[in-house]
Structure formats: C-alpha cells, structure tokens
A and B are shown apart, each in its own frame.
Chain A
Amino acid sequence: MYSGISISQTDARPLYLQIMEQIRQRIAAGDWAAGKELPSIRALAADLAVSVITIKRAYLDLESEGVIVTRHGKGSFVADVNGLAGELQEEKLDEHLAAAAAIARGLDLSDEELAARLRRAQREVKKK
C-alpha cells in the first residue's frame, strides 16, 4: 500500500514524530476518514525504508492519543470518534497560541498588545 508519507533526514525531529505528524495531517484534512485501515507496520516500514520499531513507536503513540485504534490480528484503523478531525485542529490551534504567547513573553509584549496583534491577524485573514 502506497502511503504518500515521506520523511526527511535533515528534519531535526525524530523519524517517528515525523510519521505521526503526517498521519495526523491526513486525518485532520479528511483524506484518511474514520475507519480507514492504516498500512500494516511492516508494509509501511518497507515502503519508507524505516525500521519496524520506528513505525511501531509511531502507531503506539497515535493509539495512546486516541487518533488510531489497533485491533489485534486485524490491523490499525483511523479512530471512529466524532469530531476527531476538529479536535486535532483545535489541538494544533492551542499549540500555535502557546508558541505565540511564549514569543510575546520573550519580546516583553503586554497582554493587550498581544491581543491587538491577534485581532490584526484575524483582519488579514478575513481580507483573503
């Protein structure tokens, strides 16, 4: 099964995180719908030429996040949770907001200044 997932040796993140990220993106975008079967661990390992243990780690972590479910002897599937894609998007939003808050603190911005900048960014998006 061709997964379309690709990994980079120059990406500073470990391989299993790169693989998790790309699977999450496919699910969040709706390309991989709930109930879709994921490639088997060995098939994806062969496809990406990455060790089996790395794919196992990525699947286990995705499973503990509730993104996928693994049924013994049957394989792994995209979790059948209502609004999972939305949840993933919200998680991503929170991550970006936390990163923005950290940068704002580094710049010594006041809360009001940060809020003002967020409103400016929202206006920019609306214009598009």
Chain B
Amino acid sequence: MSDMKHISMHAVRKSYRFFTLDDLSLELEPGQIMGFVGPNGAGKSTTIRLALGLIAPDAGEIRVLGHDMQRDPAAAKRDIGFVSDTMRLLPAATLGWHMRFVASIYPGWDEAYATTLVKRFNLRPEQGIRSLSSGEHVKAALLLALARRPKLLILDEPTSGLDPVARHEIISEFMDVLRDDSRSILFSSHNTVDVERISDRITFIDRGRVVESNDKEVFLDHWRRVHLQLPPGAKVPELPHVVGRSGEGQFVTLTINRYSEELLAPFGAHVRDVQRMNLEEIFVANVMYHREARGL
C-alpha cells in the first residue's frame, strides 16, 4: 500500500497526575518531514512515546506504518528508527561494538551506508562512547538509526545542544533520507529555523493540545503582520481573522491568520506595511491566541 499513512493518530488521550494530552490527532504521509513544535512540557515527548508504542493511550487510535500500536507494536518497530537527545549509548563500549550489535538485530542494516556515515560524521568505530563529545554522541546514535534504513525516523530534539556545523551535517543527512519518497521523518525541535527550512508539515502543540497542524507553506501564506496608520481619533473597525492587535493612537499593528488582500480593502491608504512572519513569530502568536481562546 503506497498511500498508507506512516503515522495516524486519532482522538488520542493520555492522562498523568499533573498533565493530560487530549484530543490529539495527526497524520504523516510517506515522503514527508513533519516538524513538531511546542514549548517545554507541551506534550511532544509523550506524543513521540505513544507513536513508538512505549506507552499506551487511555483513549483513541494510533496506527504506525499501518500497524495498530496497541495490538501489533513489534511489526511497526522493525521499521522505525528513533533518536533522542537524552538517549545514552553504553559508555564502556565502542561505536563499532554498537554497530555490530544493531546489525545483529536488524536484518535491514546497510553496512556500506554505515561506513559512509562514519566518514561523513568524522567518527571512528574503535572510539569508546565515553570519549565522544555530546555532538558526536548524537551523530553516533543517528548513524545507528539511519544505517538500519528505517521507513520512519522519529527524532526527539535531534539538533538541540549541537553546534551550527554539526546541525548542518545532520540536517543534510535527513534531507538525503527523503530522496526516497517512501520514507518519512517526524522530528520535534525548539529550533524553529531548522523546522521552517526542512519541514513539509508542521504541527504546533501547547499544554497537551494540538494548536494547529498544516502544510508549512499554508502557515507562511496565511499569517501576516499589518501596520496601520489611522487618522487621529479613528477606531480600528472589526475585522475577521484578526488574532492579535497592539499599539495605540494612530499606529496599530494587527496580526492576521487568514490573510488576503481583500481583507485590507476597508483600510485603503491607511495600510503602511504588510509583513510576512517567520515560523517562530507564527508559533508564538498562534499559541498566545489559542491560550486566550481556551481561557488559560
């Protein structure tokens, strides 16, 4: 099945004593990269652990690579590669030992690709894990995941704490994986610059709820900051799709989440500037608006 979703979560709930992830739905298609963006404690790692089948939901349905993660998690796990920034390899063993270990478990292990990655990441198989820098440690974990050639890569904050050069190397490697349109990547990150650059779809999450999940280009096309200069004493008329406003007196800035030129027609010559927003600005404005709407 080529049109099978790689991840399909529907109305998922998971409750803890002080935190509830609720009504979570998201879908990832083959050939896509999804960026998963949210503040600390938003529920990103909980969502990822649900997708990996490490924890079970209280309600809702989770299918990964076509498999029901409640009934048949093992079948999906063979084709999932997972790396997180908190993952720790065995400090006393070497990278080569880890490579042989993973190769012995996963039949899909690609030795030639592993060798290429060792070179590209400037690692050495005889290196002890204890002697690796934090950047090298992430690269080693990523190498072990990539060389298995998984259909789905799930990455929890893969680039956090890395220097710009290491981040660039790792991101290039992700894009290389996507040359094959049957593979996909879900990655969570605080780094909205990376997410904006490489993601096809973006899901914003805040306080246990999905704020919005959409194509990246849709986010970038829909959101605008509009700067108005109004005649003295004039009031800003009510407009649809205005999710934020700031400024006083004659100078007012509106944040709009469904921008079109017609929308601004009533303002005529009072429009001083219309600015595009980057993903970070859209994310912050979106989260603040939804918190207000939820009465948080």
Contacts and interface: CB of A to CB of B under 8 A. Distances in A.
Do the two chains belong together in a single complex? yes
Nearest to A52: B200
Size class of B's contact patch?
Answer: 20 to 34
Size class of A's contact patch?
Answer: 10 to 19
Interface string B217-228: 100100000000
Given A42-B181, A45-B178, A51-B33, A14 B276 contact: yes
Interface stretch (B43-51, B147-155, B169-177): B169-177
A51 B198 contact: yes
Interface string B1-37: 0000000000000000000000000000001110000
Contacts of B216: 51, 53-54
> Is chain A's interface secondary structure helix, strand, loop, or mixed overall?
helix
Given A14-B220, A51-B216, A53-B217, A9 B178 contact: no
A1 to B, nearest CB: 12
Contacts of A43: 179
Interface of B: 31-33, 168, 171-172, 175-176, 178-179, 181, 193, 197-201, 215-217, 220, 276
Interface of A: 9, 12, 14-16, 42-43, 45-46, 49-54, 57
9 contacts: A12-B276, A15-B197, A16-B217, A43-B179, A46-B175, A46-B176, A49-B168, A51-B216, A52-B178
